[in-house]
Amino acid sequence: MAILHAKKFESCRLRVKGFREVLEAHNASTEAKIVVVDEYDSNGAKDIGYKAASDALQATPDLVGIFAINDPAALGAYTAIEEAGKVGQVVLVGFDGQPEGKQAIKEGKIYADPIQFPDQMGVRVVQAIVDHYGGRKPEADALMRRLGLEVPLHVPCRRLTMAQQQILEIAKALLHEARIIVMDEPTASLTPLETRQLFAIIDGLRSRGLGIIYISHRLEEIFRITDRIVVLRDGTKVGERKVNAVDRPGLIAMMVGRPLAEEFPNRERRIGEPRLVVSGLRRGRAVKGVSLKFAGARSWR
For 152-205, write each residue's pLDDT tens digit. Answer: 566 666 677 777 777 777 877 776 678 899 998 888 888 888 888 889 888 888
How confident is the model at residue 108, as a pLDDT?
58
211 in a structural domain = yes
Please report which confidence band the pLDDT of residue 217 belongs to, taking 50, 70 and 90 as the band edges: confident
Residues 61 and 163 in one domain: no
157 in a structural domain = yes
Q: Cβ–Cβ contacts within 10 Å for residue 122, how many?
A: 24
How confident is the model at residue 299, as a pLDDT?
46
Contact 66, 77 (CB under 8 A): yes
Give first-to-last CA distance, the chain, whole Å. Answer: 77
238 in a structural domain = no
Please report which confidence band the pLDDT of residue 122 belongs to, taking 50, 70 and 90 as the band edges: very low
Write phi, then psi, for 229 (nearest 5 degrees).
-120, 130
Q: How many domains does the chain have?
A: 3
How confident is the model at residue 114, as a pLDDT?
39
Residues 107 and 191 in one domain: no
260 in a structural domain = no
Q: Which residue has the higher pLDDT, 109 or 80?
A: 80
234 in a structural domain = no
Residues 126 and 171 in one domain: no
Residues 148 and 123 in one domain: no
How confident is the model at residue 116, as a pLDDT?
34
| Of 67, 102, 134, the domain-final residue | 134
Residues 35 and 107 in one domain: yes
**Domain residue limits at 295:** 269-300
Residues 23 and 99 in one domain: yes
pLDDT exceeding 70 applies to what percent of the chain?
A: 74
Q: Which residue has the higher pLDDT, 61 or 30?
A: 61
Residues 124 and 19 in one domain: yes
Residues 68 and 160 in one domain: no
How confident is the model at residue 118, as a pLDDT?
40
| Of 102, 134, 166, the domain-final residue | 134
Q: Which residue has the higher pLDDT, 298 or 75?
A: 75
241 in a structural domain = no
Residues 121 and 172 in one domain: no
Q: Which of 147-156, 191-200, 234-243, 257-266 has the highest mean pLDDT?
A: 234-243
Task: Read off the CATH number of the domain in which 83 is found.
Answer: 3.40.50.2300
Residues 95 and 166 in one domain: no
Residues 214 and 190 in one domain: yes
How confident is the model at residue 213, as a pLDDT?
94
Please, what's the largest Cα pairwise distance for the chain?
87
**Nearest by Cα to 69 from 105, 101, 44:** 44
**What's the mean pLDDT in 206-216?**
89
| Of 134, 151, 183, the domain-final residue | 134
C-alpha angle 63-103-125 in degrees, rounded to nearest 5: 40
How confident is the model at residue 223, as a pLDDT?
93
Residue 242 has pLDDT above 90, yes or no: yes
Cα dihedral value 166, 168, 173, 175, nearest 10:
170
Task: Read off the CATH number of the domain in which 195 is found.
Answer: 3.40.50.300
pTM: 0.44
Residues 103 and 159 in one domain: no
Residue 63 has pLDDT above 60, yes or no: yes
Q: Mean pLDDT over all residues of the chain?
A: 77
How confident is the model at residue 1, as a pLDDT?
82
236 in a structural domain = no
189 in a structural domain = yes
